[in-house]
Amino acid sequence: MPDLGVNYLGLKLKNPLIAGSSGLTSSIDRIKLLEQAGAGAVVLKSLFEEQINYEAGSMIQDQDYPEAEDYIKNYTKAHSVDNYLDLIAGVKKSVDIPVIASINCISASDWTGFSRMIEEAGADALELNVFFLPVDKQIPSVDYENIYCDLATRICKTIRIPVSVKLGSHFTNVLGVIDRLYARGVKGVVMFNRFYEPDIDIDTLRLTSADIFSTAADLRHVLRWVALVHDKIQKVDISASTGVHSWEAVVKQLLAGAKTVQVCSMLYRKGTGEIGGLIRGLEEWMKNKGYDSIDQFRGKMSYRSITDPAAYERVQFMKYFSGVD
């Protein structure tokens, strides 16, 4: 039987399949089911700074006493944080697989202290889920990037457990941002985050939400960047996320250079039991190819490993459409 074990962020996983941060990782019972299904690790549902601020704001609107504002803000945050710390401690007592905490934030002031509490609660690692929309045209792009780097710097200096950053793909220079994060102590990157996207209902003329789940086609964009980062920033561990809906997709991301592969939308659509199918497909493929471990083929199809690395840089359909009028 092939050895599916991998080392991600310094953690030993029995296989590279990670259940990504979502409602499926929001309770002890659900996480126990994911472990039983075969997940190599879990990323807990993110604690959102934006959500905490929204809840506090909603409570403040109902108050007639302005002096109560600070109390409500602090109480809301403390209550949310305490519940999250309880979840971490409870999950660690209930499962044997690595537990990665996740916080979604854009400010460093309060969250650096919170990261220390996450470590003390027993989390094996911390995934920073960072994104905000750059809507001010007067702010240079590097200033936005500095927010990511400053947050990573403070948290990496505060805690000893490994830190990864879950990034969006909408940077001018993805490789440059990841290189800067690595220089500041980040051990891994998750590529890529999936965000809320608006849609318009043309009948009611209201703003609605687009489909929240990924599709198999989303894999292609991630695959390119995994292959590039694997070779250009070699010491960063990569966790491939978005578009993984089959065992073939898992194999492709490992071949491109990912250490682990995160799944989420597929589990919502088909159930947590699908993790077993991904693992069996990976095992069977490895046996057919004669691989005894993932390290024997991981990165075999990355940027520098193929005969024509420029294929990963190509952005136009010259070969296919050059003869089409």
Q: How many CB atoms are closer than 10 A to CB 303?
A: 22
* DSSP strand pairing (6-8 vs 11-13): antiparallel
What residue numbers bound the domain in which 265 lies? 6-321
The encoded tokens of residue 163 equal 């830190």
Cα 245 to Cα 137: distance, rounded to the nearest angstrom: 37
AA identity, residue 131: F
Query: Does 273 reside within a domain?
Result: yes
The encoded tokens of residue 192 equal 């890529």
Helix (H) or strand (E) holding 303: none
What is the tally of structural domains in the chain? 1
- CA distances 109 to 49, 55, 106, 120, 322, Å, are 12, 19, 10, 19, 53
Query: Does 1 reside within a domain?
Result: no
192 prior amide bond cis, ω within 30: yes
Each residue's pLDDT, cut to its tens digit, for the chain (325 residues) gives: 899 999 999 999 999 999 999 999 999 999 999 999 999 999 999 886 655 544 444 433 454 444 434 433 443 455 578 899 999 999 999 999 999 999 987 666 667 888 899 999 999 999 998 877 788 999 999 998 998 999 999 999 999 999 999 998 888 899 999 999 999 999 999 999 887 788 999 999 999 988 888 898 899 999 999 999 999 999 999 999 999 999 999 999 999 999 999 999 999 999 999 999 999 999 999 999 999 999 999 999 998 887 777 777 765 555 555 555 5
* Cβ-contact 39, 29 below 8 angstroms: no
Helix (H) or strand (E) holding 316: none
Q: What is the CATH number of the domain that holds 317?
A: 3.20.20.70
AA identity, residue 240: A
CA neighbor of 186 nearest in space, from 10, 20, 5, 1: 10
